[in-house]
């Protein structure tokens, strides 16, 4: 069984909380009516109808916010009502504040839960210490015990929710960093081959839907094995980093530069036809040829061969790569440091 995502978990929690709320409202509402507490029972059944409608809308519209907001605000109103009236049974209705405040906290999080608690505490303080004419008369000992236990329960619940939400945010940040790391080449910090596949699928999908053409450039550094053998792999790595910097600095922000593997790079050019891509490749070739590698201790020139292909001249993404790779091979055959489009 696959673990639930955060959103799926929240949806199920809201739904099940709503169902349990409906059951309790139905039981206590009908019980109050049978006991002759007509007003109290009617209020509970009206709330039941509101909860039922909100859950139905949440399911129909697939909008979890409807259920969360409705249950939370009804929880605040229900707590306040039961506190003011005492419920139907000797002032015990106020005790429902214990589970309801925890449910609100779980539904809407720390800040909304804190605001709800402060609003409810204002109601409690008014009932306990304000004008006693229109509210239920609670004993002094009960007031002290209720406030003490409510503060204890709410405090522990808020500490738990704060630590949980903080931990969740940290986990999201770590996950985002890991996801970013998994998409980047550790040496050049360009996108890696795995991430590029997703970008290709996205561009091809846009091309299929809207006809927005795109092209790719495959470039391979010429005789790079000789650089590694002559100057060492550490120097070769520094040369690759320098090439990556040049590629990113001479492409547009919307272009996608990828280290495809070894000394091979791929550039995805959205909104670019074959002729425009060929011009871009020639400019990049010129820039790479003019790099001063002597600062890295490399006296030999580092050049690259280029294969350029457009999607509107290919049948699909696989064919796009095959054709671009063939042109790269042709550039190598022509003596390297060439662009073939």
> Does residue 280 contact residue 269 with C-beta atoms inside 8 Å?
yes
SS3 318: helix
Q: Which residue has the tokens 């209720």?
A: 146
Active site residue 242: no
H-helix or E-strand spanning residue 261: strand 256-261
Per DSSP, 252 falls in state -
With 0-12 / 13-18 / 19 or more C-beta atoms within 10 angstroms meaning exposed / middle / buried, residue 129 is exposed
Phi, psi of 310 (to 5 degrees): -110, 150
Tokens in use for 182?
């998994």
**What number of residues does the chain have?**
341
Give CA–CA dist 232/213, Å, rounded.
41
What Cα–Cα distance (Å) separates residue 272 from each residue in 86, 128, 179, 216? 72, 73, 29, 9
Task: Look at residues 48, 153, 31 and name the one whose alpha carbon lies nearest to residue 93.
Answer: 31
What Cα–Cα distance (Å) separates residue 90 from each residue in 40, 58, 87? 13, 36, 7
Q: Which residues contact 258 (CB under 8 A, 6 or more apart)?
A: 190, 191, 192, 193, 195, 196, 199, 265, 266, 267, 268
Which of 68, 161, 242, 263 is catalytic? The answer is: 263
**Active site positions, annotated:** 263
């Amino acid at each position: 069984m696959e673990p639930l995502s955060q959103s799926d978990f929240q949806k199920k929690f809201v739904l099940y909380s709503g169902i349990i709320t409906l059951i309790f409202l139905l039981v206590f509402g009908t019980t109050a009516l049978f006991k002759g507490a007509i007003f109290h029972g009617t209020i509970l059944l009206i709330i039941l109808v509101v909860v039922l409608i909100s859950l139905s809308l949440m399911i129909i519209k697939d909008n979890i916010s409807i259920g969360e907001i409705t249950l939370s605000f009804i929880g605040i109103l229900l707590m306040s009502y039961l506190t003011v009236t005492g419920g139907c049974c000797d002032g015990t209705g106020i005790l429902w504040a214990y589970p309801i405040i925890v449910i609100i906290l779980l539904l809407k999080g720390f800040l909304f839960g804190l605001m709800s608690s402060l609003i409810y505490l204002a109601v409690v303080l008014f009932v306990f210490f304000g004008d006693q004419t229109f509210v239920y008369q609670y004993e002094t000992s009960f007031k002290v015990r209720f406030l003490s236990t409510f503060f204890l329960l709410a405090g522990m619940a808020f500490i738990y929710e704060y630590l949980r939400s903080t931990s969740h945010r940290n986990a999201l940040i770590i996950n985002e960093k890991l996801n970013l790391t998994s998409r980047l080449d550790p040496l050049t910090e360009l996108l890696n081959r795995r991430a590029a596949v997703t970008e290709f699928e996205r561009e091809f999908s846009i091309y299929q839907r809207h006809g927005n053409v795109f092209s790719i450039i495959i470039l391979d550094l010429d005789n790079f094995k000789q650089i590694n053998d002559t100057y060492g792999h550490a120097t070769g790595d520094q040369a690759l980093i320098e090439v990556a910097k040049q590629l990113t600095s001479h492409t547009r922000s919307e272009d996608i530069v990828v280290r495809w593997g070894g000394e091979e790079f791929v550039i995805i050019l959205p909104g670019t036809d074959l002729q425009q891509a060929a011009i871009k490749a020639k400019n990049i070739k010129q820039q790479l040829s003019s790099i001063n590698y002597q600062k890295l201790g490399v006296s030999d020139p580092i050049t690259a061969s280029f294969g350029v292909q457009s999607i509107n001249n290919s049948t699909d993404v696989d064919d796009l790569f095959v054709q671009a790779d063939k042109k790269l091979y042709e550039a190598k055959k022509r003596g390297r440091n060439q662009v073939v489009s």
